[in-house]
Amino acid sequence: MNKIKNLFRFLFLLAFLVLLILRLEDAQPWGFEGHKKITEVAIDLILNLDKFNKIEQSKLDFLKKFLSENKNIIIERCIEPDMVRSEDKDEQYNHFIDIDRYGAYPFNELPRDKKVAIEKFGFETVQKNGFLPWRISDFTDSLAYSISKDDKEKMLKYFSWLAHYVEDAHQPLHVTENYDGQLTNQPGIHSRFETELVKYLMRNDELKFDIKRLKNELQRNSIVGDRVNFAFGIVLESYKFINDILNADNYAKSLIPPEKLYRVEKRDGRTRYIYSEEYYSIMAGKLKDLVYDRMTRASIRLATLWLTALAESSNYK
Ligand SMILES: [Zn+2]
């Protein structure tokens, strides 16, 4: 009897795990591969850094040691904010900002100060439209604080989570109301762009990160004073690329007959459209440089904010 019970328990657990894996496959902002790659490049940039403007050598050495010892953990944990979204309903609002709900570019209707924004629009509206840039600023501060306390566990969390949010901010479809092409009749473009296209480019070895060149770019940056302004700068920059992505999608679709565009799969009670290699090869031709640019900028900005937190950590002591 007990054996049968155990068998049922095992089968139940197995079914649960399979369902979990299927669900995770669906929910992948920047795709997990994109997130991890950007984090890896940011770590490599710092490991190759000999100096960074005003940061003392001993501090920089401390950071390099911490990142090299925990490289794999931080790369793995940078997707954690996506994993907890199903348990923590409030977490989802930290991953995006629908900035075009606040008038016209550069969206000055939205006060950059979060408190003032909430006074103006009410908490619910500001939350519904997303908190992403403020989250980046808050988590830079939290990282600085955890470094000042030498709290290894918190440091691991904040290095990884800050990576996630900086990466999301560089994905143009994380900063618009039309985040999944639902307003322009292009549903599914969000994951086609950030997950499938990135996988396609990696599979075909079309994304080559030149650490030396990127490191030189990083070295020209400085510690970030106004983090909120810095994060909004990323958002406004990302915003300019939305149309390139939507146009490439329309262009690819215009070249491929419908029967060759995608196949339909029913899985987990849901209908999925699996787009063809032909579609992704046209998308790659149009968007390869854009993807590379967004990913490398994300790495450099992330490394810059990590260094900022390191510099700021002395202010807490
Ligand atoms: Zn996210």
On the CB side of 280, CA atoms within 13 Å amount to 20
- Distance between Cα 164 and ligand 1 center (Å): 6
Q: Is the dihedral of CA 11, 15, 16, 20 positive or negative?
A: positive
The stretches of the chain forming alpha helices (DSSP H) are: 2-26, 31-47, 57-69, 71-77, 80-83, 114-121, 123-129, 132-148, 152-169, 189-191, 198-203, 211-219, 227-239, 242-255, 258-261, 277-312
Q: Could you give phi then psi for residue 226, rounded to 5 degrees?
A: -95, 100
The 8-class DSSP code of residue 110 comes to S
- Distance between Cα 81 and ligand 1 center (Å): 6
- Distance between Cα 121 and ligand 1 center (Å): 24
**What would the DSSP string read from start to end of 156-198?**
HHHHHHHHHHHHHHTSGGGSSTTTTSTTTT-TTHHHIIIIIIH
Give pLDDT, residue 53.
Answer: 85
Cis amide linkage into residue 111, ω under 30° from 0: no
How far apart (Å, rounded) are the C-alpha atoms in residues 314 and 64? 17
Tell me the two tokens of residue 131.
């908190």
How far apart (Å, rounded) are the C-alpha atoms in residues 239 and 241? 5
Angle CA 298–304–310, to nearest 5:
140
Chunked mean pLDDT (size 10), the chain, 317 residues = 57 48 47 94 97 93 98 98 92 98 97 98 98 98 97 98 98 98 97 96 94 96 97 98 98 95 91 95 98 98 98 88
- Distance between Cα 41 and ligand 1 center (Å): 18
Helix 31-47 with 211-219: angle, nearest 10 deg = 70
- Distance between Cα 73 and ligand 1 center (Å): 18
Number of domains in the chain: 1
Q: Is the dihedral of CA 192, 195, 196, 201 positive or negative?
A: positive
Domain holding 312: CATH number?
A: 1.10.575.10
- Distance between Cα 2 and ligand 1 center (Å): 43
- Distance between Cα 250 and ligand 1 center (Å): 25
Strand pairing of 270-275 and 262-267? Answer: antiparallel
How far apart (Å, rounded) are the C-alpha atoms in residues 219 and 238? 22
- Distance between Cα 180 and ligand 1 center (Å): 14
Q: Is the dihedral of CA 280, 285, 287, 292 positive or negative?
A: positive
- Distance between Cα 256 and ligand 1 center (Å): 31
- Distance between Cα 25 and ligand 1 center (Å): 14
Give pLDDT, residue 15.
Answer: 53
How far apart (Å, rounded) are the C-alpha atoms in residues 168 and 31? 10
Give pLDDT, residue 313.
Answer: 95
Tell me the two tokens of residue 238.
């990302």
- Distance between Cα 165 and ligand 1 center (Å): 6
- Distance between Cα 14 and ligand 1 center (Å): 27
Angle CA 173–174–179, to nearest 5:
50
Tokens 């991953």 identify what position? 95
The domain in which residue 197 lies consists of 2-316
- Distance between Cα 89 and ligand 1 center (Å): 13
- Distance between Cα 163 and ligand 1 center (Å): 10
- Distance between Cα 35 and ligand 1 center (Å): 9
Give pLDDT, residue 302.
Answer: 98
Tell me the two tokens of residue 41.
């490049």
